[in-house]
Copies of this chain bind each other. A is one copy, B any other.
Amino acid sequence: VLNKRCGKQSIGFVNQPVIISTANIGGPMEGEGLQSKYFDIIMKDNINDLNSWEQCESYMLEQVITRASEKISGSVENLEFILAGDLLNQLMSTHFAMRTLARPFLGLYGACSTMIESMMIGAMMIDGGFANLLAGAASSHHDAAERQYRFPTELGVQRPPVAQWTVTGAGAAILSSTGSGPKLTYATVGKIVDMGIKDPNALGPAMAPAAVDTLITHFSDTGRNPNYYDMIFTGDLGYIGKEMVIKLCAEKGLDLSNNYEDCGCMIYKEEQDTHAGASGCASSAVVFCGYIYQMLCKKNYGKILLVGTGSLHSPTSYQQKESIPCIAHALAIEV
């Protein structure tokens, strides 16, 4: 990579930041799913002997950042900065985790794209020479998110078939200016795309056009095509959104039929009956910080494109009859 500014929305990293460690955590349902072998920590339940789901989410963030540091024989104290966020109002879980970890902190909100946003800004800080070692992290908690966005779990409201299941989990990645591991090579910063969908259950279909917009821009900006990558992953479009991406890309002449998967289709087994798949900040965070990172380290993948997808609505915007603004950020990660 020679140019840091690349096309309309992309960035090329010259001193490519290395992802030297990751860690992830999941709840019991996630632990019984398709990623069971790839979790560092699986909680026995969704509250972990704490007083609230929100506190449990803070605990998960603390655990993944600490565990990712320990894997490289370091400690959280060595992290120059932490960039993180979650889905809760005022990033509640992140802020209490950051209070515990007590490192210089930058709060981000990209809804379910936050894990990728944290690595993208973190990578600019490292390539730019402002840091040598930092962590990006994101979390979501099924019950905390459901009661905020939709209905309290205890109410037992029936979920529509289009609904996705918010993942209880967290992921953290440690980025370094030196060391070995997969490198961040390009980033494409998304624009907001809103195709008028108003149903806050149908988040995959709402986000799919944003993912497609960022994919097309990424290929145009970098001169690459889908075949350049061994795999392309989106964050949490689920089964319906994933099919939309394949179809919408095909209409634009981009064939994703062979090397594309959505993290929201990689977490739960069919018999877990989550309907349209997984969602939440933790969807891309746990799959990237577990399975994908391990595949990159083993060189089973050489080049991947990770596209974080975020649905940026709020309960208030829904009540005000607004449609759902969405965003997608892409990161190219290569061994």
Q: Mark A297-329, 1 if CB is under 8 A from B, else 0.
A: 000000000000000111111001010010100
The one of B52, B102, B192 in contact with A320, judged by C-beta atoms closer than 8 angstroms, is B52
Known contacts A109-B107, A320-B52; is-contact A325 B89 (Cβ 8 Å): no
Q: Mark A1-21, 1 if CB is under 8 A from B, else 0.
A: 000110011010010000000
The one of B5, B105, B316 in contact with A132, judged by C-beta atoms closer than 8 angstroms, is B5
Q: Does A246 contact B (CB under 8 A)?
A: no
- Whether A104 pairs with B9 at a CB distance below 8 angstroms is yes
Binds B, one of A25-33, A92-100, A274-282: A92-100
**Alpha-carbon separation in the docked complex, A127 to B131 (Å):** 13
A45 CB contacts on chain B under 8 angstroms = none
The one of B51, B130, B190, B314 in contact with A90, judged by C-beta atoms closer than 8 angstroms, is B314
Number of residues in A with C-beta < 8 Å to the partner? 60
Give the shortest distance, in Å, between A253 (CB) and chain B (any CB): 23
A8 CB contacts on chain B under 8 angstroms = 104
Q: Mark A127-162, 1 if CB is under 8 A from B, else 0.
A: 111111000000000000000100000000000000
Work out how many copies of this chain go into the complex: 2
Residues of chain A from 233 to 288 with CB closer than 8 A to chain B in the complex: none
Q: Does A106 contact B (CB under 8 A)?
A: yes
Known contacts A106-B189, A108-B108, A117-B107; is-contact A129 B5 (Cβ 8 Å): yes
A108 CB contacts on chain B under 8 angstroms = 106-109
Residues of chain A from 24 to 55 with CB closer than 8 A to chain B in the complex: 51-52, 54-55
Known contacts A109-B90, A128-B124; is-contact A104 B189 (Cβ 8 Å): yes
A109 CB contacts on chain B under 8 angstroms = 85, 90-91, 107-109
**Alpha-carbon separation in the docked complex, A54 to B95 (Å):** 24
**Alpha-carbon separation in the docked complex, A118 to B327 (Å):** 18
A51 CB contacts on chain B under 8 angstroms = 320
- Whether A316 pairs with B54 at a CB distance below 8 angstroms is yes
Residue of B nearest to A100 (CB): B192
Q: Does A80 contact B (CB under 8 A)?
A: yes
The one of B89, B99, B129, B192 in contact with A89, judged by C-beta atoms closer than 8 angstroms, is B89
Residues of chain A from 150 to 180 with CB closer than 8 A to chain B in the complex: none
Q: Does A110 contact B (CB under 8 A)?
A: yes
Residue of B nearest to A95 (CB): B312
Q: Other than the known A91-B312, A106-B121, what 7 A-B pairs have Cβ atoms closer than 8 Å?
A: A92-B316, A92-B317, A95-B313, A96-B317, A96-B322, A107-B110, A124-B125
Could you list 22 A-B pairs, sorted by A, with CB under 8 Å? A5-B80, A5-B132, A51-B320, A54-B317, A88-B316, A89-B90, A89-B314, A89-B316, A95-B313, A96-B317, A96-B325, A105-B192, A106-B110, A106-B117, A106-B121, A107-B327, A109-B109, A121-B121, A124-B124, A124-B125, A127-B130, A128-B129
